[in-house]
Amino acid sequence: MNIQQYFDYCLSKKGVTEHFPFDEDTLVFKVGGKMFALSSMKEWESGSPSVNLKCDPEKAEQLRADYDAVQPGYHMSKVHWNTVAFNGDASDKTICGWIDDSYNLVVKSLTKKAQAELGALEK
């Protein structure tokens, strides 16, 4: 996956916005004002892209055990976030599934009104 594909995939989801809230390097995708995916532009440019994704704590531990590409979230809560390397042992399709999971976890944490405005959760 290249940066444009990642960018387009995240923005294709309902209600998603892009931000640089921390610095000019860290691209953050949000839904309902809450983060679900973060990535360093410098890492993409240097050829070692990764993304921080929200994850169910039990699943996060299992993914870290099953994939070398999945590590505890860099500069994030290690319980709820994973850092996933794009050039690792997880396919783009698998990573897209984890992006979906992260998005859906955040949507589920939104108010019922905000969820209704977004429509049904994506699968």
Reduced to 3 states (helix: H, G, I; strand: E, B; else coil), residue 121 is: coil
pLDDT at 122: 53
Distance CA 81, CA 50 (A): 13
83-123 pLDDT per residue, tens: 999 999 999 999 999 999 999 999 999 999 999 888 855 54
Mean model confidence pLDDT for the chain: 94
38-68 pLDDT per residue, tens: 999 999 999 999 999 999 999 999 999 999 9
Q: What is the pTM of this model?
A: 0.92
Residue type for position 110: L
The residues that bridge with 83 in the sheet, in sequence order, are: 52, 71
> Are the C-beta atoms of 73 and 50 separated by less than 8 Å?
no
How far is the CA of 60 from the CAs of 14, 28, 63, 69, 85, in angstroms?
24, 20, 5, 12, 14
Distance CA 7, CA 92 (A): 13
Fold that domain 3-110 belongs to in CATH: Aspartate Aminotransferase, domain 1 (3.90.1150)
CA triplet 102, 39, 57: central angle to 5 degrees?
35
Q: Show Cβ contacts of residue 13 under 8 Å, excluding neighbours closer than 6 positions.
A: 31, 103, 122
